[in-house]
């Protein structure tokens, strides 16, 4: 029998077993129902054995054959513009790959049931979508394009594989170039027709000021205005601290304390104080008592949980709480009495917390300081700043000393400190970018960071040993396979690290970062190390924080802008008041898993939205610099090209087809692009001169070329010198 006939007979058997009426049968029954001739029965036996070996059928104890019973897995589908997609299964390390012909009508972010496929053609396990349980995308933001008798919406989200058809009567009067929100009325189904929808909101024209950011706000479904009920509750909060509010609280109004924030910060939720007792430091971290004004399960609380976090976009802040609270009674404004939760720590000269106290307090901030001003006092000893804040200068100098001690102790235990610059984007009144520069940390920002980390660890440890229900901030160990790949890679540079089969100690990564500091390969290895790490999240289990090399960690210090901090404050206050009784413990055990999950999801959404707005404004900025030449660093190497980051943090792509003089291929193991003839390589972290070829804010893409690529070619577009425009 030929191979082709064998495959045909296999398919016949499998098709039979797929029939809804099929019941498991013995070999003899299969031969009968399939009308197999007696001389072909040995062949049937062989085919059945092959199918068993391939895992495509199973046989039970009674000798009956059937398709293998496979448990369906539930997850969330993420589509790709090319038609295929991935399904993320909770608790599963790697996403499942869904080939285009196995998507079966699923749409981006749908909750689906999937069936694992036996074949594995690529690196990831393949699966097919068996059933759509719930639609995850009901509204899409995009640009409307009008045709003669209909229109279509081109989605902003590049993960969506097709445009959305809109009939003329459902266009709401949109014109070509309108930014719209379209509600999907028909998803196209398994036949892969284009989805259909109706325009429900016109945000404005694509070139109108602010419409670009508003499109991102809508695309991520970020809530803007607060519901009326929420606003009414916020407005009813007392504008100042009353005598009744102070009752039973630790009065710390005579303690000298300051807030230290950025110049434009308005929601000041942490203040710090420091005194000396012999050789010890008495450090106070005082956090706004937001839970005093946001009662559990109130409209304010439900809205705060729904939002999860404040979102800091390039031109606006979408707050977790209304401004009446976040900028008013909950903000630790200088010269005003405020309610707080204070973590009062005694820290010895080694940086160890030898004693601490958590207390409900009333405080009075003496001065509102900025990072810039405090850095001038500590780093530069600026005479003008020192004179203006002369009564506080000794405390700032003590703070700098303590910060250094705490930081060194944290580094000694293995905490990893990645110091990649964030970007500061300056906009004009209409929202156009004027300048992009790296936002560097200084002594003052590190000082506040050190004190907040110490308070967060102290609070987490306290509640861990109480064995009370709590929300921890956890950071799992890196994936061993990624660490193994990193270990092999750094070996090429003469570095090594100790990594067990299952886990690595953070100190090994910290030692590596120390070794490479100041070397040409520092940027390269730092980025690869960061990429080998997992994302931090919220959890009710205290599994430790790998990056901080900390056994106990939580978020306690920002209840104005993060819901987990607000939730933690309630637990702290109940414990301090002796009310954390069995009924309350049961209550928290029931609600905290969902609080942790929701907070982690909303944090991811905020991060993605912030990244998208930054990319948008960076691309718009580079539109004005077409043709200019910069020196950047290769920040990513992929099969399709080189990503290059400029000193102002803007990143663009040099497509592989634009690399001159050779045919280049991607060497994944070495993280480099290599010329097949010349052997010329482009490595991660390598410096590279690039010319801005193209920038499109609507697709948020920036394309670079190498400056010499066009030399000698007269394209009629002028000079190739730095600063020239094409």
Per the CB < 8 A criterion, the answer to whether 495 and 592 are in contact is: no
Residue 323 sits at φ, ψ, to 5 deg, of -60, -30
Alpha helices, DSSP H, located in 19-54? 27-33, 41-53
Q: Tens of pLDDT along 367-385?
A: 999 999 999 999 999 999 9
Residue 284, pLDDT > 80, answer yes
- State both tokens at 479: 């994936």
Q: How many CA atoms lie within 13 A of 651 on its CB side?
A: 14
Q: Matching CATH topology for 1-66 and 625-705? A: no
Q: Tens of pLDDT along 603-634?
A: 999 999 999 999 999 999 999 999 999 998 88
Q: Which of 553, 671, 539 is nearest to 600 (CA)?
A: 539
- Topology of the domain covering 72-134: OB fold (Dihydrolipoamide Acetyltransferase, E2P) (2.40.50)
Q: At how many degrees (to 10) do helices 211-219 and 582-622 cross?
A: 140
- Residue spans per domain, the chain: 1-66, 72-134, 139-208, 228-475+545-611, 480-533, 625-705
Q: Which of 574, 540, 582 is nearest to 296 (CA)?
A: 574
- Classify 265 in phi/psi space as left (phi over 0), alpha (psi -120 to 50) or beta: beta
Query: Worst-scoring range by mean pLDDT, 119-123, 184-188, 321-325, 536-540?
Result: 119-123
Residue 684, pLDDT > 90, answer no
Residues 6 or more apart in contact with residue 11 via CB below 8 angstroms: none
Alpha helices, DSSP H, located in 206-361? 211-219, 228-236, 243-246, 299-307, 323
CATH class of 1-66: mainly alpha
Q: Tens of pLDDT along 293-334?
A: 999 999 999 999 999 999 999 989 999 999 999 989 999 999
Q: Span 139-208: which CATH code?
A: 2.40.50.700
- State both tokens at 286: 């005082």
Q: CA end-to-end span of the chain, whole Å?
A: 67
Residue 275, pLDDT > 80, answer yes
| Average of per-residue pLDDT values in the chain | 88
Q: Tens of pLDDT along 484-527?
A: 878 877 877 788 887 665 678 888 888 888 888 777 777 667 77
Residue 718, pLDDT > 70, answer no
CATH class of 625-705: mainly beta
Q: Tens of pLDDT along 100-132?
A: 888 888 999 999 988 888 766 666 788 888 889
CA 466 → CA 173, 470, 565, 591, distances in Å? 62, 10, 18, 19
Residue 714, pLDDT > 50, answer no
Alpha carbon distance 160, 157 (integer Å):
6
């Amino acid at each position: 029998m030929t191979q082709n006939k064998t495959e045909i007979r296999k398919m016949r058997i499998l098709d039979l077993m797929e029939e809804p009426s099929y019941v498991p049968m013995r070999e003899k029954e299969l031969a009968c129902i399939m009308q197999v001739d007696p001389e072909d029965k040995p062949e049937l036996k062989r085919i059945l054995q092959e199918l068993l070996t391939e895992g495509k059928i199973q046989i039970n104890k009674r000798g009956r054959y059937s398709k293998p019973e496979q448990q369906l897995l539930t997850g969330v589908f993420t589509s790709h513009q090319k038609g295929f997609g991935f399904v993320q299964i909770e608790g599963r390390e790697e996403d499942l790959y869904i080939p285009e012909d196995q998507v079966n009508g699923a749409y981006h972010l749908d909750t689906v049931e999937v069936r694992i496929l036996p074949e594995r053609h690529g690196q990831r396990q393949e699966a097919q979508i068996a059933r759509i349980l719930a639609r995850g995308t009901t509204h899409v933001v995009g640009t409307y394009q009008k045709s003669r008798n209909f229109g279509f919406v081109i989605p902003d989200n590049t993960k969506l594989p097709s445009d959305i058809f809109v009939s003329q009567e459902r266009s709401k009067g949109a014109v070509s170039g309108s930014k719209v929100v379209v509600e999907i009325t028909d998803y196209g189904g398994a036949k892969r027709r284009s989805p259909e929808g109706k325009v429900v909101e016109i945000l404005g024209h694509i070139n109108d000021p602010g419409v670009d950011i508003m499109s991102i706000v809508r695309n991520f479904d970020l809530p803007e205005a607060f519901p009326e009920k929420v606003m009414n509750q916020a407005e009813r909060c007392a504008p100042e601290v009353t005598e009744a509010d102070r009752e039973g609280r630790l009065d710390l109004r005579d303690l000298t304390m300051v807030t230290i924030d950025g110049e434009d910060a308005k929601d000041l939720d942490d203040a710090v104080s420091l005194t000396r007792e012999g050789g010890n430091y008495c450090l106070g971290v005082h956090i706004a008592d937001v839970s005093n004004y946001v009662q559990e399960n109130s409209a304010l609380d439900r809205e705060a949980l729904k939002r999860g976090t404040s979102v800091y976009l390039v031109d606006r802040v979408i707050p977790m709480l209304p401004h009446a609270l976040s900028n008013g009674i909950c903000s630790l404004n200088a010269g005003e009495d405020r309610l707080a939760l204070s973590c009062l720590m005694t820290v010895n000269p080694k940086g160890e917390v030898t004693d601490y106290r958590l207390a409900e307090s009333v405080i009075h901030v003496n001065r509102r300081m900025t990072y810039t001003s405090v850095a001038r006092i500590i780093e530069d000893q600026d005479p003008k700043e020192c004179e203006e804040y002369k009564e506080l200068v000794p405390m700032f100098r003590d703070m700098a000393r303590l910060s250094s001690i705490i930081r060194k102790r944290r580094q000694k235990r293995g905490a990893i400190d990645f110091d990649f610059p964030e970007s500061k984007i300056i906009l004009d009144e209409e929202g156009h970018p004027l300048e992009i520069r790296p936002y560097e940390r200084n002594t003052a920002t590190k000082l506040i960071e050190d004190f907040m980390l110490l308070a967060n660890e102290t609070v987490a440890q306290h509640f861990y040993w109480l064995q009370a229900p709590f929300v921890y901030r956890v950071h799992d160990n890196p994936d061993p396979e990624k660490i193994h790949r990193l270990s092999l890679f750094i070996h090429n540079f003469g570095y090594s690290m100790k990594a067990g089969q299952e886990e690595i100690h953070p100190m090994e990564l910290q030692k590596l970062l120390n070794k490479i500091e100041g070397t040409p390969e520092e940027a390269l290895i730092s980025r690869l190390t960061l990429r080998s790490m997992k994302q931090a999240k919220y959890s009710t289990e205290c599994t430790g924080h790998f990056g901080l090399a900390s056994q106990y960690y939580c978020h306690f210090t920002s209840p104005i802008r993060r819901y987990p901090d607000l939730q933690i404050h309630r637990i702290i206050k109940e414990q301090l008041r002796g009310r954390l009784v069995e009924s309350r413990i049961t209550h928290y055990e029931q609600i905290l898993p969902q609080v942790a999950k929701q907070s982690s999801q909303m944090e991811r959404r905020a991060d993605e939205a912030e990244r998208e707005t930054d990319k948008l404004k960076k691309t718009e900025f580079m539109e004005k610099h077409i043709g200019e030449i910069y020196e950047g660093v290769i920040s990513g190497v992929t099969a399709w090209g080189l990503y290059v980051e400029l000193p102002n943090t803007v990143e663009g792509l040099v497509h592989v087809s634009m690399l001159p003089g050779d045919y280049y291929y991607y060497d994944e193991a070495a993280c480099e692009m290599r010329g097949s003839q010349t052997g010329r390589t482009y490595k991660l972290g390598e410096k590279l001169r690039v010319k801005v070829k193209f920038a499109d804010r609507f697709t948020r893409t920036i394309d670079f070329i190498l400056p010499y690529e066009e030399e000698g070619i007269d394209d009629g577009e002028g000079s190739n010198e730095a600063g020239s425009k094409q």
